[in-house]
Amino acid sequence: MRIPKWQISLPVIYGFVAAQNTPLELQNLSPVQYVNTENLRIAYYDSGPKNTTTVLLLHGFPYDINVYYDVVQNLTRHGYRTVVPYLRGFGGTRFNSAVTPRSAEQAALGKDVVDLMDAIGLDRAIIAGYDWGTVAANVAVALWPERSVGMVAANSYLIQNRSTALQPSIPASEALRWYYYVFLTPRGYAGLVQWPKEWARTLWSRNSPQWNFTESDLDRAMVAFDNADYPEIVVNFYRSRLLYTPGDPAYANLADALDAQPKIMVPSVTLDPTDSPVLPPANESVAAKFFAAPRIHHILRDTGENIPQQNPDAFTRAILEVAELARSSGNL
């Protein structure tokens, strides 16, 4: 049976109540737990029964795990386990060695997801993300499909073929990515060190223009930026995407495999927010060649880059939908 497409712009849908944050009180995902992998000591939130379907939720830049607070509450009510890690260089996630390259290349982000799953004894999960989290989710699912029940991904497919990294976009599109190029410079790095909160304020305002975040939202996110490796990881992500820095040799084989842009072999729900200027909505057929399993694509009205915090009901619904898609296709 074909599942109909849906669009979301109302504050209350599918039985969920959209969050109405106030500057007086914000909730946090706590307590945070820690686990060691080969390269990292990963800080993560873990809730829900261990004997049910797990949803792994991956944040972006410049954000923290608490963007998923309302999504976690929704999924908990539906009986799911949720695991929400800080990405490398964010929050309490630290490198185990001072000599490990501070790489944020796509291969490293995806391998971190699988390493975390191994470390906590998690065999399979629904893997979901937006922004950098989409990159990590895409890589983990594409290279290790046996570890995923299904995928939810904003902007569908963000695995990069490095041979196309220097192909220009039209000037109007390049202008929206101004910070990519700022972070190629020492000036960009120094600015991020000096003003991490103001960088977050600026990018939140520009990349989710209709999201009415508060000063308390920014203050809560600051814990993610209080990490000595945060500036280096951030600039490395953009320098890697634009080939301004070499990758970590430890990920060379994975990086080569990703250049082939491997297909997603598990059921997926993909989301395009209408108000994300850097990655505007695309026709679902544009990314269709990257998906070799059932996929449902949705356009989210009046929503910017930070989907899980601005429109948590839409993100929750996508996870429930991909779980049903996985069941119907025999992957759950």
The predicted model scores a pTM of: 0.92
- Would you state the pLDDT for residue 12? 28
CATH number assigned to the domain comprising residue 262: 3.40.50.1820
Look at residue 2 and tell me if it is in a domain: no
6 domain-assigned: no
The whole-number pLDDT of residue 277 equals 94
Domain presence at residue 68: yes
DSSP 103-150: ---HHHHHHHHHHHHHHTT---EEEEESTHHHHHHHHHHHH-GGGEEE
Q: Is residue 7 part of a domain?
A: no
Residue 66: band (very low, low, confident or very high) from pLDDT cuts 50, 70, 90:
very high
The residue whose two tokens read 């291969």 is 107
Per-residue model confidence (pLDDT) at position 4 = 37
Q: Residue 26: pLDDT above 90?
A: no
In a domain, 267, yes or no: yes
Q: Is 1 within the bounds of a domain?
A: no
State which residues form the domain around 133.
12-328
152 Cβ contact partners less than 8 Å away, ≥ 6 residues apart = 126, 127, 128, 129, 137, 268, 269, 270, 271, 315, 318, 319, 322
**55 within some domain:** yes
Predicted local confidence at residue 25, as pLDDT: 64
Higher pLDDT, 32 or 329: 32
Domain count, the chain: 1
Nearest to 262 by CA among 110, 38, 130, 129: 110
Residue 202: the pLDDT is 98
* pLDDT tens per residue across span 257-306: 999 999 999 999 999 999 999 998 887 788 999 999 999 999 999 999 99
